[in-house]
Amino acid sequence: MSNSIYAARRARVAAQLGKDGIAVIPTAPERPRNRDSDYIYRHDSYFYYLTGFGEPNAWLVIMGDGKNTLFCAPKDLEREIWDGYRLGPDAAPAALGVDAAHSVNDLDAQLPKLLENRDAVWYPFAIHEGLETRVAGWLNQVRARVRYGALCPEQQRDLCAVLDEMRLVKDAHEQDIMRRAAQISARGHVRAMQLAARMLRDGKDVREYHLDAELLHEFRKGGSQYSAYGSIVAAGANACVLHYRSDAAPVKAGELVLIDAGCELDGYASDITRTFPATGKYSGPQRAVYELVLASQQAAIDVTQPGARFTDPHDATVKVLAQGMLDLGLLDKNTVGNVQDVIDQRSYFRFYMHRTGHWLGMDVHDCGSYVEPSQVGEVSERKDPLSGEAIKNRPSRVLKPGMVLTIEPGLYVRPADDVPQQFHNIGIRIEDDAIVNDQGCELISRGVPVKPDEIEALMRG
């Protein structure tokens, strides 16, 4: 990507630091897995957002006047033979558009000098283990020089507050990557659905990991670097475990399979869930619950538009699900009352216990405040009918074009004596990724169908 995008982001940060401010942003550390093997390396999202630089061992420093300096791993032929190519400080300014670059080995010597005579130091709070201590060490070195006339920053500020707001609204370039990520993920879902039906038709022993393998195949084939999160491939009753991880359970004819999986492409996540019948044909009760979840998702999509609140899709979903729970007999109206009672008392929570979405971006649960910044002071209090706890509420975020969120209603029926048996162990979630635009929202994950007839047709093919 063009360096100018990253340079423009750094300039926007600089403009918010104050003229004597300084910001320090490390990338993520490498993490040992066992012995001398590390986990697959993933850069820090904030750092990457400002540099486009994916190497470990790197730091970015931005000054209030806009000047910025990269500290990165020095060239080292022997290490590069083992670990791979390093850009190195000499090539970094031309390659990345930063003003200056030094070896990361000089960081501790340089930072006290850079911090001297600044009034505020900004860094991401509570993200990088040990960073606070490291900053304190540099500040102490500046303090040791105050008797010679040096000024030491008096303020430490959380840079997340600045970067979270910037990252919340995705620019055209980010939206383009996210569209492509969602398309790749959708192909993975299609492939997994088709494989399940084909293997079962052939009388094979299908396991959750077979479907997981199809997802990964399609992700990597599409150029994605890795999964955006651990894939959930949940057969049958496993679908009622919200954070189930793909394992080895058999995928049986007659049961549903819930897949929640998405790839990460060039630093951006996708997050898609589909729930399909293992052999390609929904049973009556499965289809009834599926249609309900789908209708609740459509109600949420219909209100996902600029000017709406982040909570509006959730409220729309709950209304439809609550009515459906009464209609299907999952909830007994003689016990729980009418639909408004179900909403007010949160009786639906037994079958729908998560929110309808979250911000999506570089991180699957992306950063960005869910409270409208202009209304943070408007606090109201209510009592939660289930726990009895007092809950403080602030006005929910107003949606704007460029914000990206998931819309993911579900319904999960654990076996219980007061629940019709035909619905036992049905767990359904439908999740799509939406970019808020001028008119409403664009669903970027519909490369895999959601309508039950279309899913059945796809699985016959």
Question: Is 198 a residue of the active site?
Answer: no
Q: How many residues bind ligand GLY (CB under 6 A)?
A: 7
Nearer to ligand GLY by C-beta: 260 or 266?
Answer: 260
Q: Select which of 33, 365, 382, 460 is catalytic.
A: 365
Contact of residue 229 among ligand GLY, Mn ion, none (CB under 5-8 Å per partner type) = ligand GLY
Question: Is 260 a residue of the active site?
Answer: yes
Minimum separation from the CB atom of position 219 to ligand GLY (A): 14
Nearer to ligand GLY by C-beta: 264 or 431?
Answer: 431
Nearer to ligand GLY by C-beta: 63 or 257?
Answer: 257
Nearer to ligand GLY by C-beta: 123 or 359?
Answer: 359
Fill in the per-residue mask, 419 to 438: x = in contact with ligand GLY (CB under 6 A), - = not in contact. ------------x-------
Strand partners, 62: 23, 68
Nearest to 228 by CA among 215, 238, 241, 247: 215
Fill in the per-residue mask, 179 to 198: x = in contact with Mn ion (CB under 5 A), - = not in contact. --------------------
Q: Select which of 255, 431, 432, 433 is catalytic.
A: 431
Nearer to Mn ion by C-beta: 116 or 260?
Answer: 260
Minimum separation from the CB atom of position 357 to ligand GLY (A): 8
> Cα dist. 42→27, 153, 227, 278, 380 in Å?
9, 32, 11, 34, 40
Q: How many residues does the chain have?
A: 461
Q: Select which of 271, 312, 432, 433 is catalytic.
A: 271
Whole-angstrom distance, CA of residue 179 vs CA of residue 182:
5
The Cβ-side half-sphere exposure at 36, using a 13 Å CA radius, reads 2
Whole-angstrom distance, CA of residue 325 vs CA of residue 345:
14
Q: Select which of 412, 432, 433, 456 is catalytic.
A: 412
Whole-angstrom distance, CA of residue 167 vs CA of residue 179:
16
Question: Is 128 a residue of the active site?
Answer: no
Nearer to Mn ion by C-beta: 44 or 271?
Answer: 271
Question: Is 102 a residue of the active site?
Answer: no
Contact of residue 214 among Mn ion, ligand GLY, none (CB under 5-8 Å per partner type) = none
Minimum separation from the CB atom of position 274 to ligand GLY (A): 12
Looking at 51, 185, 396, 406, which residue binds Mn ion (CB under 5 A)? 406
Looking at 174, 264, 408, 456, which residue binds ligand GLY (CB under 6 A)? 408
CA 211 to chain CA mean position, Å: 22
With 0-12 / 13-18 / 19 or more C-beta atoms within 10 angstroms meaning exposed / middle / buried, residue 446 is: middle
Terminal CA-CA length for the chain? 38
Nearer to Mn ion by C-beta: 255 or 431?
Answer: 431
Contacts of ligand GLY in 250-279 (CB under 6 A)? 260, 271
Fill in the per-residue mask, 316 to 355: x = in contact with Mn ion (CB under 5 A), - = not in contact. ----------------------------------------
Contacts of ligand GLY in 62-121 (CB under 6 A)? none
Q: Select which of 255, 260, 266, 456 is catalytic.
A: 260
Looking at 44, 55, 260, 312, which residue binds Mn ion (CB under 5 A)? 260
Question: Is 271 a residue of the active site?
Answer: yes
Return the structure tokens found at 338: 């009418």
Nearer to ligand GLY by C-beta: 255 or 408?
Answer: 408
Question: Is 314 a residue of the active site?
Answer: no
Minimum separation from the CB atom of position 342 to ligand GLY (A): 24
The β-bridge relationship of strands 68-72 and 100-103 is parallel
Question: Is 243 a residue of the active site?
Answer: yes
Which residues of the shown chain bind Mn ion in the complex (CB under 5 A)? 260, 271, 406, 431
Q: State the catalytic residues.
A: 36, 243, 260, 271, 354, 358, 365, 408, 412, 429, 431
Which residues of the shown chain bind ligand GLY in the complex (CB under 6 A)? 229, 260, 271, 358, 364, 408, 431
